[in-house]
A and B are shown apart, each in its own frame.
Chain A
Amino acid sequence: GQQLNQSPQSMFIQEGEDVSMNCTSSSIFNTWLWYKQDPGEGPVLLIALYKAGELTSNGRLTAQFGITRKDSFLNISASIPSDVGIYFCAGLRGGTASKLTFGTGTRLQVTL
């Protein structure tokens, strides 16, 4: 099945730095979602985006729904050690039988 392309695949940053990651697709999605997975746990929803061009924040996190509807971006400002984990994007085309398509994940490690 299709997976969305996420980049970077992994990143090491220092505490206090800002982080950017993105997710791209060859096809259009009507909803974009960002999840975070802590080690040994299930992913947790961070931000949901429902409209092209939409910019939404959740604390230090900001995500954007690309204007072409084929991409999305997630920024984390002033990273802290608990930001460590895997970040997944997910897209939904819509319709009653529609399923989420997940990205390949970005592994974030934060050093002190």
Chain B
Amino acid sequence: DGGITQSPKYLFRKEGQNVTLSCEQNLNHDAMYWYRQDPGQGLRLIYYSQIVNDFQKGDIAEGYSVSREKKESFPLTVTSAQKNPTAFYLCATGGGNGGYTFGSGTRLTVV
């Protein structure tokens, strides 16, 4: 059945290392989004893509990069330029009714 899959569930990064978070969907949705959530906080938009081969910066894009080569996939790379990357990362797809479907998240920790 259709859904959105994020992997891995937990990820550990060393200082100065780039890491990539995976987000795959089979809902046939055009729009995909990446959010960051810090403990006890709301959702902050990192990047979004309304269509394949196009993406836009969100509110906190510095230190992150994305690609959208396929409709099904929207990976997020957390680069060494992101000074405080420890957080819970959520990927979402946008449906026609305006609601988003979220993945189960990736918890990234710097060690």
Interface residues of A (CB under 8 A from B): 1, 3, 31, 33, 35, 40-45, 48, 88, 90, 92, 94, 96-100, 102-105, 107
B98, A97: Cβ atoms closer than 8 Å: no
Flag whether B75 is at the interface (Cβ < 8 A).
no
The distance in angstroms between the C-alpha atoms of A102 and B105, with both chains bound, is 17
| Consensus secondary structure, chain B interface | strand
Question: Is the beta-carbon distance between A42 and B105 smaller than 8 angstroms?
Answer: yes
Given contacts A90-B100, A105-B42, 7 further A-B contacts (CB under 8 A): A40-B107, A41-B105, A42-B103, A42-B104, A100-B94, A105-B41, A107-B40
How far in angstroms is the closest Cβ of chain A from B102?
Answer: 3
Interface residues on B, range: 20 to 34
Interchain residue pairs A-B with the least CB separation, the first 9: A42-B102, A1-B59, A92-B98, A31-B98, A104-B42, A102-B43, A45-B99, A105-B42, A43-B102
